[in-house]
Chain A
Amino acid sequence: MGKREKIKVLVSVIGLDGHSIGAEVVCRILMDAGMEVVYLGIYQTPEMIVQAAIQEDVDVIGISSHASNYDQIVHLLGLLKKNNLEDISVICGGTIPQHQMEDLKKKGVSEVFLPQSTSESIVNYIVSRC
């Protein structure tokens, strides 16, 4: 990481998914690791997430997913590409079955963290990407 002192991560729940507690636990983990976290909360459309990512100039977008709404994540990836923001890594976490995980990675998600992933694995991965 070269451009600034703190890694800046946007954390959001996407679409109509209302399961917020996982995202909130991850926010705390990232803040404890010294990162700057922008937490958008729930009911964020892909458009809103992209807009916030531009405004906040983040390094990484983390999407917490517990509602099988992978189409929304794919739509987000498309919007990032359209806005030439592919340098922002998108990572996902949550209850995502194996084949969806592989599919999301093929479509541009850089990493998927499954339930009970350790804090260390999430933090180390983000540091390695920045």
Chain B
Amino acid sequence: MKRETDYGHPIKSVYTPKDIENLDYERDLGDPGSYPYTRGYYPDGYRSRVWTRRMTAGLGSSRQTNEVLKRYREMGQKGGMLVICDRTNAMPIDPDHPIGKREAGLLGWPGASLLEFEELMEDIPLTGQSITLLGSCTMSSIRLAYVVALAEKRGVNLHEVHGSVTEYPFCSTFGQTDAQPLDLNIKLWLDSSEYIVRNKIHMRSGILSQHFQESGGNNAQALAVEMAMLKDLCSLLVNERDLDFDDVAFLPYELVSVGSRFFEEIAKIRALRRMWARLAKETFKAKKTKSCQLLISVHTSGRTMTYQQPLNNIARCAIQTLAGAIAGCTAIDNACFDNAHAEPSPLAARMSLNTQHIVSDETGVTDVADPLAGSYFVEYLTNKVEEEAYKIWSKIEEQGGMIAAVQKGFIQEMMRESAQEKHKEVERGDRLIVGVNELVIPPEEDFQIPIQELKAGDSEGIARRMQEWKKTRNIPLVEVKMAKLYGDARKGDRYNLMPSIIEAVKAYATAGEILGVIRKARGLSYDPLGMIDCPFDFR
């Protein structure tokens, strides 16, 4: 068995003060609540606020997903809701698209219109909990428009809504694929981000290393990629959209993938806080202390959830949740024990939420801030992962920054190589996974878990409903809003499309229509898959 960190650094049998002799407490750690925030942002840790304990929802129709959200609330999920979109919506195409008919509602929520968002949120408050919608970058501006439109309809003050419904433009590189070109995704992300910042809306935007790491990247690479993304995207908002960094710094939140290598995961999150604080202060010359505090949430890792002996995943999830909690974070959502089989069943979802409550309420982890600080090993690992990440980040900088590195395929190649190496490590037995290459049992002896999935015909049902409903809209109004959007989308990248997207959403234009029209205005095909024609005539 290999005794190395997941990024290949040898681990010794014992660590002593010599291993951290250059560590300067004030400079490198600081008390919790003090720069550079290695030890967290709050002097009393979780005593002032325990992390938000939440579960991912999204499967089938909007009404079905609404039922799941209400059930999660009964299970104790009160601080925030988290919904992931389906594959049609990630593109986005509408469920009634010829290829959408076979996949609508699979893997997530088919949020193709304001109607779907209204159904999703029925009897669920927009305020008093964080609203998080995940899926792809392209849908970000439309999801933000849903929130703006529904708040207006309900008479809710938009500034009382908080959460995150927008996402970074690189997710399509890391397996969370939408079908839009990178330049369009960057433009739409900048539009939604600028709208949030200028209107002082309390919504974050996910700039996430989770997708990269779940696709095979290692801990040091994940830190480097996260920092490179943060630097490039914040720079664009400051330089191209003329925003003040201290306003921009409120926008990003990071979702860290936490696996089972307990101490390394904790070190990674501690290092990330320090790296962002230094970037904010030294590079961006942040004036506010809050600007030096990156919001960090944890996703316990789907890639570690095994298909074989799925009940073992409950133990993995508990270890990872404890690591995330000790590292210090704002929210945790768990991959469930059935992650390698299907979407979370009610049983698996309850287990995951209960796991978080066992960790928060029974272990004492919420009593003390950053309890592992001062451990020779953990401080050494924190320094080491940071050092390795800085090396990789400087290679990304040599490529011309994150955007250039993605365009050249540098990041993708790094991720691919790392994924291949991880596969080989397991095959060689360098890394042991119980139930996979150790303590294996015949499949017929395996415990059969309940499988949560759609019934045959459910996707078609969602598609048919959309097809029929589209005809009942105020079509002339939709056409007027689409013509406006088309005109605005031809005004160049700096012209912010959020206002016309919000108007289109309020008129119940669909995601496929809105993105199709923006694509057409940019000289692309209306349909990203090239199968259907634009239903609007702009002559």
Q: CB within 8 Å of B: which residues of A?
A: 15-21, 24-25, 28, 42-43, 45, 67-69, 71-72, 75, 95, 97-99, 114-116, 118-119
Contacts and interface: CB of A to CB of B under 8 A. Distances in A.
A118 B427 CA distance: 7
Contact of B106 (A18, A69, A75, A98): A69
A21 B416 contact: yes
Nearest to B101: A71
Interface centre among A45, A95, A116, A119 (most CB of B within 10 A): A116
Contacts of A28: 420
Contacts of B179: 43
8 contacts: A16-B88, A16-B93, A16-B100, A19-B175, A43-B529, A69-B87, A69-B103, A95-B342
Nearest to B459: A71
A42 B177 CA distance: 9
A116 B91 contact: no
Interface string B165-198: 0000000100111110000000000000000000
B448 interface: yes
A68 B342 contact: yes
Contacts of A25: 216, 416, 419-420, 423
B175 A116 contact: no
B299 to A, nearest CB: 16
A116 B426 contact: yes
A53 to B, nearest CB: 19
Interface of B: 87-88, 90-91, 93, 99-100, 102-103, 106-107, 172, 175-179, 215-216, 306-308, 339-343, 415-416, 419-420, 423, 426-427, 433, 436-437, 443, 448, 451, 453-454, 459, 529
Nearest to A98: B448
Contacts of B454: 68
B307 A115 contact: yes
Contacts of B91: 16
Contact of B306 (A20, A24, A116): A116
Nearest to B214: A21
A102 to B, nearest CB: 12
Contacts of B88: 16
- Summarize B's interface: helix, strand, loop or mixed: loop
Contact of A16 (B87, B342, B427): B87
Given A72-B102, A97-B453, 13 more contacts: A15-B87, A16-B87, A18-B87, A21-B175, A45-B99, A67-B107, A68-B343, A71-B103, A75-B102, A97-B451, A98-B443, A115-B307, A116-B426
B235 to A, nearest CB: 28
A78 B178 CA distance: 27
Nearest to B419: A21
A42 B99 CA distance: 14
Nearest to A15: B103
A43 B177 CA distance: 9
Given A16-B87, A21-B215, A28-B420, A116 B99 contact: no
Contacts of A67: 87, 103, 106-107
Contacts of A15: 87, 99, 102-103
Nearest to B460: A71
Contacts of B420: 25, 28
A118 B480 CA distance: 57
Contacts of A19: 175, 177, 215
Given A67-B103, A69-B106, A119-B427, A18 B215 contact: no
Interface centre among A19, A24, A68, A118 (most CB of B within 10 A): A68
A20 B175 contact: yes
Nearest to B217: A21
A116 B423 CA distance: 8
Contacts of B93: 16
A71 B105 CA distance: 13
Contact of B176 (A18, A24, A115): A18
Contact of A68 (B100, B107, B339, B529): B107
Nearest to A24: B416
Given A15-B102, A24-B416, A116-B436, A97 B87 contact: no
A71 to B, nearest CB: 4
A119 B427 CA distance: 8
A28 B423 CA distance: 11
Contact of B102 (A69, A98, A99, A115): A69
B426 A21 contact: no
A21 B340 contact: no
Given A25-B423, A99-B451, A16 B99 contact: yes
A73 to B, nearest CB: 10
A115 B423 CA distance: 11
- 8 nearest interchain CB pairs? A18-B177, A16-B87, A71-B102, A115-B307, A21-B215, A97-B341, A116-B436, A68-B106
A112 B451 CA distance: 18
A97 B479 CA distance: 44
Contacts of A99: 451
Contact of A116 (B100, B172, B178, B308): B308
B451 A18 contact: no
A99 B99 CA distance: 24
A101 to B, nearest CB: 10
Given A18-B177, A95-B307, A115 B340 contact: yes
Contacts of B433: 116
Contacts of A118: 427
Contacts of A95: 307, 339-342
A29 B107 CA distance: 28
A9 to B, nearest CB: 17
